[in-house]
Amino acid sequence: MSKLVSIITPLHNSAPFVTETIESVINQTYPHWEMIIVDDCSEDKGTDIVKEYAKKDRRIRLIENESNLGPAKTRNRAIEQSKGDYIAFLDSDDLWAPTKLAIQLEFMQSNKYAFTYTEYFKISEDGKPQGTQLIPNKLNYKELLKTCPIGCLTVIYDAKQLGKVYMPIIDKRQDYALWLKILKTLPYAHGLKEKLATYRVRKSSVSSNKLKAAGYQWRVYREIESLGLIKSCFYFVNYFLSGIKKTYLQKRDN
């Protein structure tokens, strides 16, 4: 029997992009999925778009928050409602290649991996190429503390093996905090070196603001992981250096 994949999609003011996101899921060659879209009080027409898709395809479900909960609680609400053997993540402005689920699930099942991620493309808000994210073959907890090449839109974890693992409640970087949480129970996360997704770099995103991203990185160390000051400084320096290296490589390749 084919395994069900629950796709966790928070929605907030993504009307210009959500159609393309949903279409990238509908076009998957692997058909056994449910897409749980949770709207976090959007002020645009995004929910209307989702409702039209939900009428046509029962695999798509819309949940609407009564008040703005933020991305962590919004994603956790979708995880709570999920029924899948696997949990996958796709934000409402990102895209999947048509073979994403089929290839990644085969990778997981043939190797008995419980937590995997892939490479991905980056594009601007208007769809212009912004480079790619390459990945290592595997990462453990301590390696992930130093740098995080894992894109949320690429992750799948085995909910039957790990149970439903929820995102820690922090304003930003909650996905990174979740990967750390999982890697306290597993020796490694395993990378599939194929570009199976496309991440849209929006002007308002934390990843586009290096200073804000650094601040939230520090909060993960101190508030979520409860690391001491010396350990936090050690890992933060490694994070900072890896960011400089990444910026240099991107400029060189462009």
- State the amino acid at position 243 in one-letter form: G
* 75-105 core/surface letters (b: 16 or more CB in 10 A; e: else): bbbbbeebebbbbbbbbbbbbbbeebbebbb
pLDDT tens-digit series, residues 109-153: 999 999 999 999 999 998 999 999 999 999 999 999 999 999 999
Q: Any idea of the CA torsion for 27, 28, 32, 33, to the nearest 10 degrees? A: -80
Looking at residue 212, its pLDDT comes to 81
Assess whether pLDDT exceeds 90 at residue 243.
no
Give this prediction's pTM: 0.92
Establish if 32 belongs to a structural domain: yes
Average pLDDT value for the chain? 92
CATH number for 199: 3.90.550.10
- State the amino acid at position 129 in one-letter form: P
Residues 6+ apart with CB under 8 A from 23: none
Domain encompassing residue 111: 5-203
pLDDT tens-digit series, residues 217-226: 999 999 999 9
Please give the tally of structural domains in the chain: 1
Establish if 35 belongs to a structural domain: yes
- DSSP for residue 153: G
